[in-house]
Structure 1
Amino acid sequence: MASSTRQGGIQQLLAAEQEAQHIVNNARNARMARLKQAKEEAEKEVAEFRAHMEAEFQKKLAASSGDSGANVKRLEQETASKILQLKEQSSSISRDVGNMLLRHVTTVKN
């Protein structure tokens, strides 16, 4: 009788061990599936973020290239006005500068 009780106890332990092994395997499989799902979700988010940032970059690039033409025109206008201003200033004082140079060149100091 004691031997049959031991056999029954051993059988229960083996059954409990097998059940525990199934539980551990199921948990491991569920964890692996969740990790795979999390990885796929992360890759999807990264792809969406990358697409969003690329779209913003392209938008800024298009806006800046459009502005560069306006900037070039503005700079050309500013340059032309400054050149005109310098020509006017030089023509107004060129006679005075010529007279001053002539006076210094023809004046003899002892």
Structure 2
Amino acid sequence: MATKSEGIQRLLQAEQRANAKVAEAKKKKQKRLKEAKEEAKKEILLFKNNQEVAFQDKMAKSQGFGDDYTAKINKEGQVEAAKLDQCLAQNQGKVVDWLLDLVSDIKPEVHRNYATTGFA
């Protein structure tokens, strides 16, 4: 009987050692998970900061481009206005004469929708 109880004692001790190893493995796993989370947070923060810097650079470049583009458009608009003013100065007399001819040349006609119905 003594051998049975010694065997049982050894089994209990082996079970306790196994439980201790499992508990230690769980602690190590939790520690590794916590470290991995911290490292991931650092990488995410670094990536986010890099993306923010790149975005700010693009915004600065695009706004600078916008200022140049606005100036270019304004200059083109002024050139076009000058061309229109020149064209107006050249053709103003012709247009006034043409309008006066149209207004003063009256040709009376019966309207095309007027139909004689014979009731008169």
Task: Give TM-score scaled by structure 1 length.
Answer: 0.90
Deviation at 1:92, TM superposition (A): 2.4
State the Cα distance separating 1:76 from its structure 2 match. 1.0
For residue 90 of structure 1, report the CA deviation from its aligned partner. 2.2
Which one has the bigger helix percentage? 1
Q: CA offset at residue 64 of structure 1?
A: 2.0
Please identify, of 20-29 and 68-77, the stretch whose mean Cα deviation from structure 2 is larger. 68-77
Identity rate of aligned residues, in percent?
34
Distance 1:92 1:10 in 2: 119
Structure 2 residue 94 is the aligned partner of structure 1 residue 91: no
| TM-score, normalised with respect to structure 2 | 0.83
Deviates more, 1:80-89 or 1:6-15: 80-89
- Structure 2 letter corresponding to 1:105: V
Match for residue 73 of structure 1 among 67, 71, 75: 71
CA distance in 2, matches of 1:4, 1:36: 48
**Which consecutive residues of structure 2, in runs of 5 or more, have no partner in the other structure?**
109-120
Q: Deviations over 1:73-108 (max 9, x none)?
A: 111101101111111222222222111111011112
Q: Give the corresponding residue for 1:7.
A: 5
Question: 1 CA distance for matches of 2:88 and 2:79?
Answer: 14
How many residues align? The count is 108
Root-mean-square deviation (CA, aligned residues, Å) is 1.2
Find the counterpart in structure 2 of residue 29 from structure 1: 27
Larger Rg: 2
